A and B are shown apart, each in its own frame.
Chain A
Amino acid sequence: MTTPETAPETPHATAPGPAHASPAEPEPEPAPVAASEAAPEAAPVTASEAVPSVTAYDVRRTLPLRVEAVRQFRRRRTLVAFGILLVLPWVLVVAFKAGGDPGTGGVPGLVDVATSSALNFALFALFVSTGFLLVVAVALFCGDTVASEAGWSSLRYLLAAPVPRGRLLRQKLIVALSYAVVAVVSLPLMSLLAGTVAFGWADVELPTGGTVPVSTALGRMAIIVGYALVSQLVVAALAFLLSVTTDSPLGAVGGAVGLVIVSNILDAVTALGSWRDFLPTHWMYAWMDALQPEITWTGMVKGAAVSTAYAAVLFALAFRRFRGRDIVS
């Protein structure tokens, strides 16, 4: 893309400058012309034509990930989201401790074996969060990222900096997804910690009966968290698309969460038959297939296929839409 062109230093005198500059004011020294034009067909700025000023612009250095991460991190929203995810396991621990033993009898579920070990507890925490809390967290990080900038009007200054639109989206997407990943991973990790403190380490008891040794269970846990991440991709993608479409962060986050709710409602309509396989949330709980003596992969493979397919199209639409959009915020 870029053709860095180092032009000879331009003496200040060659620039046609009016002579009535006030000597009292700080007269900035013109920077040497180190022309770097992003457009390939852009002609190098030759010394005689150049205005002495900043030209050390390199599109690859615009909006570094670190900068975007810092911009997002200090937000109250980010801190609150992480706070909830990190406190929730302890709240659950208190709830289990206060409520006594989970009821026995009836059908087995993750809740019945939740207190048997740290890993069981982490699985339970993941189970109760997958349907809504993690969805909200992922939608928050991905849906808010562009829309909030538009809301603050800072978007237009970033774009005029200029951060090219595709690059701005890419950097923001990487940072948003990273935060979402950290959020989704932090919950089971904190649950493991809380579970270790409260219930200790032991083999994982499966709700379907039987146990899995810790070494295997940790691997299963990694698979489960990995799948949970993949299955949330569709939420992330929709939130991101809405984020570049609307200037209201709440609208973007709410829209993505709303989709999950509508999809869950449709999923309950069994009359839809196998069409439900293609609902974005149909496979959201497929990671429970890893909680059996033998992992069943079909559900997770199907879920990953559906999620990535939706996500690819939605992300593409987001980039396409943002590229052609008039920024009037």
Chain B
Amino acid sequence: MRVGGAFRARWGRTGRAARWAAAGTAVALVGGGAAWGVGVTADRASRVETSDQRIAVVDGPRDDQRVTLDTTFYRPAGRADVPAIMLGHGFGGSKRDIADQARRLARHGYAVLTWSARGFGGSTGEIALNSPDYEVKDTRQLIDWLARRPGVRLDGPGDPRLGMAGGSYGGAIALLTAAHDRRVDAIAPMITWHSLADALFPDAAGAGPSDGVFKKLWASLFFTGSAGRTACGRFLPSLCEMYQEVAEKGRATGSAVETLRRSSPSSVADRIRVPTLLVQGQSDSLFPLDHADANARAIARNGAPVSVVWFQGGHDGGDPETERIEGLVLDFFDARLKRRPGAFDGGEFAVTRAGGLDSSTREVVVEEATARTYPGLSHDPVRLPLGGGEQTVYNPPGGSPASISAMPGLGSLGSGALGAFGPVGGPLAAERPGQFAVFDTRPLERPVRLTGAASVRLRVDGDGPLFAKLYDVAPGSGGAATGGTATLARRLAAPFRVSRGQDVTVTLPAMDHRFDRGHRLRLVIATTDLGFATPAEPASHKVRVVSPLTVPTVRALTTAPTPVPAWVWALPLVAVALALLIVLSGRRRPAPARPQDSDVPLEITGLTKAYKNGHLAVADLSFRVEKGQVLGLLGPNGAGKTTTLRMLMGLIHPDSGEIRIFGHRVSPGAAVLSRLGSFVEGPGFLPHLTGRDNLDLYWRATGRPLDEAHLDEALQIADLGSALDRPVRTYSQGMRQRLAIAQAMLGLPDLLVLDEPTNGLDPPQIREMRQVLVRYAAAGRTVIVSSHLLAEVEQTCTHAVVMAGGRRVAAGPVAEITGSGRRLEDAFLELIGETS
């Protein structure tokens, strides 16, 4: 099934493991690439020169740690004075992951430096999580290195024109380096964090990370993903110990929060003053959209221009939109580094939205909506009352089974488009019975497009972490939250911690989601989530809402119509033009009529026809037939008789010469053919129709009035009796023959051409036929009979044309051809050169 196949493809794609390691750059690993060493290889096809080198740096809190970084430098061949871009890789990756993107940027005129961060790939050192003491110092020394490279444009001594970009881990280093080093001129961080502490210990009630809910699944993937010789792999031992402590407790410690904050742009956001393009994923449970929002607001506060883009992908999977995002980044750098302001005019805010599924490409159609200004996450709110009174939810002992929202490492189940209309129930139930409370709005009277983070005020009697989620409930049968028509919007959950008896304002996950007319918004408060640490002791909470649901909207976001490729319009136009050319070219102009010949039934002059295989069927044939004649066309097999008659009917184009009937030149479909009745090379009837219907429909096809058909006379000649009303396929050869001659005589044409008319007829019928032909000509019409039965010609015809090898060998009255006292047979054999 096509549709089924499409969905299988989607499920398979989102199920890819360890998506986050690729860190949103979503470029395929490039095989091979550049060789180790300092050899310079010029890629001729792309005109990009690459060189690999290990760059020694010194870092650490006391600047005493020596680390060598594995780097690759790409630059467009033959161009000097180009701006530079430093491209960082994602967590768990290396410089190789971003080789393709680097090459593409270089091809557009940038010197690109990629490096494996300390602790990754071929670089030495240990992972310090983008610490200002370690990684930031490393990148600053890479900038020093860049400034010394020939061909890199400098804004001042030691200050290259520099942009930084990268996804996730590589995005955070861009933000942090921009804060610590004034030489960075523009940054384009993707799917990265604002505060690592908030990302790993989120609290949607706004209490901060120290009491946040531990995002255990993501954290474990983060810290143990590179495990090697030690439990923490290449992490700094202090970081490893920190993780082990918080993972064991399931709660943040003060030192952990402090360490994570130092690795976060949030700690230095007031120092980032460069133009920034923030790209954040809508399928991202690790660094949700609110991290980009916090970064954007902090940088904008410093007076720097900021643009925010929400795309379909993210750490959970979804459409990476690689081409679109890379194009945006390139435009951004063109505008900021090459100082071409017109290159980037996307406005401050762009959201890509999943439209329908294109069943042919099996991909979701993604539309882009843009707004001039960045609206934030709580713009223009709509308040929707929530129904459902106080409900009690239970925390299961051991915190298991847990409800499921996003699945780190597996990608989110049904993220992206499928999340928008795929079933949520099925094999993986999202919610566990007894563990969740449900609050529904009324069915929407008009669609609501949520853009930002919805919020609601709750009163919870209890203590512990809870999870707030927003479902889209389609009208119909779906009753429970696990029903087939309730969809967890974006599969995101907002964890928050409550203390006894307190009202809390919970900010739900930020997203862009359209709730259709008739749908309901459903707030679900659950006690467990597989991705988070929840307490093991059983508990119960009474939950009720004390405010309407506040749903932010951004009406200024407008979607440009999805452009279709130019070929969609060009192709049919070109095709139609081509079609006209094909049809109109090579038309033959009909020759003018010769009125003075209009009483000459047939005149053939210089007629020649050679078939494609080279066989010369008719060569320079000329003869003339006068009114009232019965002309016999004689010749052995292959003499060209039938070819001549076919040309006479306009079925075959002569190579040269012409045929004129009553002065009009014969061409395919020439009107004068209406005065010709023909029976050539056997009958041609529709076998499924009766003889009568065949004649009737044939006559109707000629378009002439029925009363001109003289059908009765024709039928008399056919002499078929009752067989006339049987299908033709039941006829004998002779019956078809007679019917065909009758068809030729329909309308009593002025010129009647019959090819072997007596084949298959019995002697009385032959005799009858002979009389019919003689009488026909006697009425002032003309008959041409082609035959090899010489006796018949002798008895019927007044004139004869003898052909052999495509040529006329004799013509004239039959009596003249035979001479006196000779039989036609002798004369014929003599003429065609086979004298006995």
**Using a CB–CB distance below 8 Å, which chain A residues touch chain B?**
2, 15-22, 25-28, 31, 36-39, 41-43, 45-46, 49-64, 67-68, 70-71, 74-76, 105-111, 127, 152-168, 206-211, 282-283, 285-286, 288-289, 291-296, 298-299, 301-303, 305-306, 308-310, 312-313, 315-317, 319-320, 323-324, 326-328
Q: Are A53 and B358 in contact (CB under 8 A)?
A: no
Question: Which of B184-192, B227-235, B452-460, B645-653 is found at the contact surface with chain A?
Answer: B645-653
Residues in B neighbouring A283, C-beta threshold 8 A:
360
- Judging by beta carbons under 8 Å apart, are B586 and A326 in contact? no
Contacting A at CB under 8 A, from B504-537, are 516
For residue B781, CB closer than 8 A to chain A, the reply is: yes
- B364's closest neighbor in chain A, by CB? A296
Q: Write 19 A-B pairs (CB below 8 A) sorted by A numbering.
A: A53-B748, A54-B708, A58-B703, A67-B697, A68-B701, A71-B686, A108-B3, A154-B686, A157-B743, A159-B651, A162-B671, A207-B4, A210-B476, A294-B356, A301-B568, A312-B579, A320-B586, A326-B651, A328-B646
Q: Which among A43, A76, A306 is the interface contact of B598 at CB below 8 angstroms?
A: A43
A319 to B702 alpha-carbon distance, docked (Å): 21
CA distance A155 to B516 in the complex (A): 60
Contact A323 B698 (CB under 8 A): no
- Could you tell me if B11 and A107 are in contact, using CB atoms closer than 8 angstroms? yes
Given the contacts A159-B651, A296-B355, A54 and B685 also touching, CB distance less than 8 Å: no
Given A312-B578, A327-B652: A62 and B598 within 8 A (CB)? no
Question: Is the CB–CB distance between A305 and B708 below 8 Å?
Answer: no
A310→B578 CA distance, assembly (Å): 11
Interface residues of B in 1-36 (CB under 8 A from A): 1-4, 7-8, 11
> How many Å from the CB of A34 to the closest CB on chain B?
9
Stretch in contact with the other chain, from B102-110, B248-256, B661-669, B817-825: B661-669
Q: A17 to B706, alpha carbons, bound, how many Å? A: 26
Question: Shortest distance in angstroms between A95's beta carbon and chain B's nearest beta carbon?
Answer: 16
In the complex, are the beta carbons of B685 and A296 less than 8 A apart?
no
Q: Which residues of B lie under 8 Å from residue A74 when comparing CB positions?
A: 688-689
What separation, in Å, do the CA atoms of A313 and B652 have in the docked complex?
25
Q: Is the CB of A153 within 8 A of B681?
A: yes
Tell me the bound Cα distance from A27 to B780 in angstroms. Answer: 11
- On whether the beta carbons of B650 and A162 are closer than 8 Å, the reply is yes
- Contact B4 A28, beta carbon cutoff 8 Å: no
Q: Is B381 an interface residue (CB 8 A)?
A: no
Contact (A53, B749) CB under 8 Å given A293-B516, A306-B571: yes
Which B residues touch A323, using CB under 8 A? 668
Given the complex of chains A and B, what is the CA–CA distance between A156 and B648 in angstroms?
A: 12
Within 8 A of A (CB), among B693-731: 697-698, 700-705, 708, 710, 713, 716
Q: Contact at A209–B580, with CB atoms within 8 Å?
A: no
B157: interface (CB < 8 Å):
no
Chain B: CB-nearest residue to A314: B579
Interface residues of B (CB under 8 A from A): 1-4, 7-8, 11, 355-361, 365, 421-423, 426-427, 474-476, 484-485, 487, 516, 562, 564-565, 567-569, 571-572, 574-576, 578-580, 582-583, 586, 590, 592-593, 595, 598-599, 601, 627-628, 646, 649-653, 662-664, 668-676, 678, 680-689, 697-698, 700-705, 708, 710, 713, 716, 743, 747-750, 771-772, 775, 777-781
Please state if A160 and B7 are interface contacts (CB–CB under 8 Å). no
Give chain A residues whose Cβ lies under 8 Å from the Cβ of B3: 108-110, 207-208, 288, 291
B567: nearest chain-A partner, CB-CB: A305
CB-nearest residue of chain B relative to A25? B775
Which one of A22, A25, A39, A207 contacts B671 once the chains associate, using CB atoms below 8 Å? A39
Collect the chain A residues with CB atoms within 8 Å of residue B686's CB: 71, 75, 152, 154
Interface centre among A36, A61, A157 (most CB of B within 10 A): A157
User: Which of B358, B702, B703 has a CB less than 8 Å from the CB of A299?
Assistant: B358
A21: chain B residues at CB < 8 Å are 775, 778-779
CB-defined contacts of A305 to chain B, threshold 8 Å? 567-569, 571-572
B650 touches A324 (CB 8 A): no
The answer to whether A51 and B650 have CB atoms under 8 Å apart is no
Q: When the two chains form the complex, which single residue of A53, A105, A288, A293 contacts B750, counting CB atoms closer than 8 Å?
A: A53
With A109-B4, A209-B423 as contacts: A70 and B771 at CB distance below 8 Å: no
**Cα(A156)–Cα(B11), bound, Å:** 60
Whole-angstrom distance between the Cβ of B28 and the nearest chain A Cβ: 14
Give A295 Cβ to nearest chain B Cβ, in Å: 7
| Contacts A160-B650, A209-B422, A327-B651 given; does A46 touch B684 at CB 8 Å | no
Q: Which residues of A contact B651 (CB under 8 A)?
A: 156, 159-160, 326-328
Which residue of chain A is the closest to B580 with respect to CB atoms? Answer: A316
Contacts of B713 in A (CB 8 A): 26, 28
Closest chain-A Cβ to B374's Cβ sits at a distance in Å of 27
Give 18 new A-B contacts, CB below 8 A, not counting A288-B2, A302-B564: A16-B627, A17-B780, A22-B778, A39-B671, A42-B672, A62-B703, A74-B688, A159-B649, A160-B649, A160-B673, A208-B421, A209-B422, A292-B421, A295-B356, A296-B356, A298-B358, A313-B575, A328-B646
Selected contact of A17 from candidates B4, B474, B779, CB within 8 Å = B779
> When A42-B664, A152-B684, A320-B582 are in contact, do A16 and B649 touch as well, CB less than 8 Å?
no
- Hey, which chain A residues are within 8 Å of B357, CB to CB? 208, 289, 292, 296
Contacting pair B697 A70 (CB below 8 A) = yes
Contacts of B681 in A (CB 8 A): 153, 156
Q: Taking A51-B627, A62-B701 as contacts, is the C-beta distance between A27 and B582 under 8 angstroms?
A: no
- The answer to whether B485 touches A286, judged by C-beta atoms less than 8 angstroms apart, is no
CA distance A75 to B174 in the complex (A): 76
Rounded to whole angstroms, the CA-CA distance of A18 and B781 in the bound complex is 10
B778 neighbours in A (Cβ, 8 Å): 17-22
Q: Is the CB of B697 within 8 A of A51?
A: no
CA distance in complex: A112, B530 (Å): 31
Q: Looking at A2, A127, A308, A313, which has the most chain B CB atoms within 10 Å of its CB?
A: A313
Distance in angstroms from A35 CB to nearest chain B CB is: 10
How many Å lie between the Cα of A250 and that of B68 in the bound state? 73
Flag if B650 contacts A315 (CB, 8 Å). no
Interface centre among A127, A156, A167 (most CB of B within 10 A): A156
Which residue of A67, A107, A110, A326 is within 8 Å of B652 (Cβ)?
A326
Q: Are A67 and B701 in contact, CB atoms less than 8 angstroms apart?
A: yes
B672 touches A37 (CB 8 A): yes
Known contacts: A18-B628, A157-B684, A160-B649. The answer to whether A299 contacts B360 by CB under 8 A is yes
Instruction: State in angstroms the CA–CA spacing of A312 and B581 once bound together.
Output: 11
Name the residue on B nearest A42 (C-beta): B593
Contact present for B649 and A156 (CB under 8 Å): yes
Contacts of A328 in B (CB 8 A): 646, 651-652
CB distance from A195 to the nearest CB of B (A): 19
Question: For B662, what are the chain A residues with a Cβ–Cβ distance below 8 Å?
Answer: 45, 51
Expressed in whole angstroms, the Cα–Cα distance for A246 and B358 within the complex equals 38
A103 to chain B, nearest CB (A): 12
* Contacting residue for A76 out of B475, B672, B688, CB 8 A: B688
